[in-house]
Chain A
Amino acid sequence: MFLSFLLSACATQTSKKIDSQIQGDVYTGTDTVEYLADGVPDRVFFATNESVLTTASRETLRKQAAWLRKNPEVTVVLEGHADERGTREYNLALGERRANAAKDYLMTYGISSSRVSVISYGKERPVDSGSNPLAWSKNRRSVTVKAN
């Protein structure tokens, strides 16, 4: 009796923890995030099969754009990724679409397309090797990487 109570409490806690890191299928945690500069996260996350930027993603990209405007000599590569739950070829296309969604947004905030290149890795380079919704949500991403 006591044991089962403990177990169920534990399960609730875990799912709460995941819930707080995924909203509407999009990763909102900071586990894997690196920073281009103080307060400038390097990546944005996507929902399954989607390339739409969330409010949080747009905020991140505006910070990146501001940083890029301040550092006009910097060029970047946007690396688009997909999770493992899709066919390899479709995921390559999806990664490209995601990275371009991020690129388009940077461009609308005044970053020249000549400073931004794009590469898709599809499902080839996950950051989290887990086979669960949280891991997949971290892997559906576009990462802005300094190229010079």
Chain B
Amino acid sequence: MKNKIRLLFYILLILFPFKSLALIEVDITRGNLSPLPLAVSSLSSSENDKEALKKELDIKDLGLEISKIVENNLKKSGLFNPLNKDAFLQKPDIAHLKPRFEDWALIKAQALITGKVNFQDEKLRVEFRLWDVLAGKEMLALAFTTVPKNWRRVGHIISDKVYERLTGEKGYFDTRIIYVSEKGPKTQRIKKLAIMDQDGFNTKYLTLGNELVLTPRFNPTNQMVTYLSYFKNLPRVYLLDIETGMQEVVGDFPGMTFAPRFSPDGKKIIMSFAMDGNSDIYTMDLENRIVERITNHPSIDTSPSYSPDGKYIAFNSDRSGYQQIYVMKSDGTKVKRISFGNGLYGTPVWSPRGDLIAFTKLHKGKFYIGVMRTNGKGERLLTENYYQEAPSWSPNGRVLIFYRETKTNSKGEGFSAKLWSIDLTGYNERLVETETDASDPSWSSLLSN
């Protein structure tokens, strides 16, 4: 599947090898109180190419649009401060060949991104360079070739490469979010599966809203999704291929299955199965369809999430009397409670980096999104609100996306559900804009590497 995506996109990476003694380094482990000022020049293109691309995509200046995608991504990361283009002194085409660093230093840019857009043989070719303004050096130069309709992804890949070069960690911009789109009154919400690019563009609806759908989650290795559907009033876990639209029920359970998630290798689905008032955790192998029971306890065991190495499972259970977070080995042995703070704890989600578990906490009538180490120590609450839950990690483990619901007024009006994101540092809390109300977000892996 990954190969297929790569093939489809057909990225030609030409890396000009060099080692620079760049001075710029962005520390992403601390709150970003002073984001790095940088200039994203419009990507230049010849009049001929502009004309041809306008015909192809109906976009007047594609180079400018791509540079705006990069600016927007870097700005929203909270780590960078893209400067206003009006202040730029050098023309895009000349800057791309040889920037006059004094001009860029004058407007206080520490880094500069330049580029060029061509259209040849029905293919879009984009090259870009990242410059260290103060050291007067090129830090990175790359070129991509792709089909023109992938132009937004080019902007995201440039953003990822710049982020990676400047922070030392992989980016998260060439990704998608799957979520539940919501409409209608609170007592009769209509819910549809929806998918969009990480920056809110290219929204597509994957179901029609005829049945209730909940909790979609991406397979970390491909474009499959697992979710809960009330199709025919039988709440069951489904598997959906978002490329082909094919879907199927997961397993043959005589009752509700819910809270699905993939294993890190994408080969299993882990979920809860409820029967006679008791919910336990099960897995199903997607290749041989073998179902395994993982927990066997009269309490509610749900919201399972694997560690990235697949060796452990975090879940929540009320076996202590209240909802708390537990970790066990992936075969269900060695169950250990890890949350001991005041309040209720739910929805544990293991960070892709392996060192942290994100969770939802309810304490004294407030909901919190927080993180703790995998042994339960070092609890840090990132955000407090009337109602919020269901964190999902960006693929680099630096950002969490979750949903928030508002309190209604005395007449029961004013309900809304929205997606929000926040950095692991607890800074940079942002509304993630969606076409409709939204909940249950799940962040995909990087589409390209």
Are A90 and B323 touching (Cβ within 8 A)? Answer: yes
A85-B361 Cα distance, complex, nearest whole Å: 11
Contact segment of B52-60, B90-98, B407-415 = B407-415
In contact, A94 and B300 (Cβ under 8 angstroms):
yes
Closest chain A residue to B347 by CB distance?
A87
CA distance A104 to B276 in the complex (A): 9
> Please, how many residues of chain A have a CB less than 8 angstroms from a CB on the other chain?
32
- In the complex with contacts A89-B258, A89-B347, A90-B323, A130-B278 CB distance below 8 A: no
How many A-B contacts are there with CB distance less than 8 Å?
Answer: 107
Q: A51-B277, A92-B256, A92-B274 are in contact. Are A125 and B303 (CB under 8 A)?
A: no
| Residue B35 CB within 8 A of the other chain | no
A93-B300, A93-B302, A120-B274 known; A85-B258 Cβ under 8 A: no
A91-121 residues at the B interface, CB under 8 angstroms: 92-94, 96-97, 99-101, 104, 118-121
Output the least CB separation between B420 and chain A (Å).
16
Collect the chain B residues with CB atoms within 8 Å of residue A90's CB.
Answer: 300, 302-303, 316, 318, 323, 346
- Interface residues in B, total, Cβ within 8 A: 47
A130 pairs with B412, CB closer than 8 A: yes
Check: A124 CB closer than 8 A to any chain B CB.
Answer: yes
Chain B residues, Cβ within 8 Å of A124: 189, 212, 214
From B141-149, B180-188, B306-314, the one touching the partner chain is: B180-188
Least Cβ–Cβ distance between B374 and chain A, in angstroms: 20
Considering residues A92, A99, A100, A128, which has the most beta carbons from chain B within 10 angstroms of its beta carbon?
A92
Distance A86 CA – B390 CA, assembled complex (angstroms): 11
B164-218 with Cβ < 8 A to chain A? 185-189, 212, 214-215
Nearest CB of B to A40, in Å: 23
Point out residues on A near B: beta carbons under 8 Å. Answer: 49, 51, 84-90, 92-94, 96-97, 99-101, 104, 118-121, 124-132, 135
Which 3 residue pairs across A and B have the least CB separation, nearest first? Answer: A100-B277, A129-B412, A129-B186
11 inter-chain pairs at a CB distance below 8 angstroms, sorted by A residue, are: A85-B365, A87-B316, A87-B390, A88-B214, A89-B259, A90-B316, A92-B256, A92-B258, A96-B255, A124-B212, A125-B188
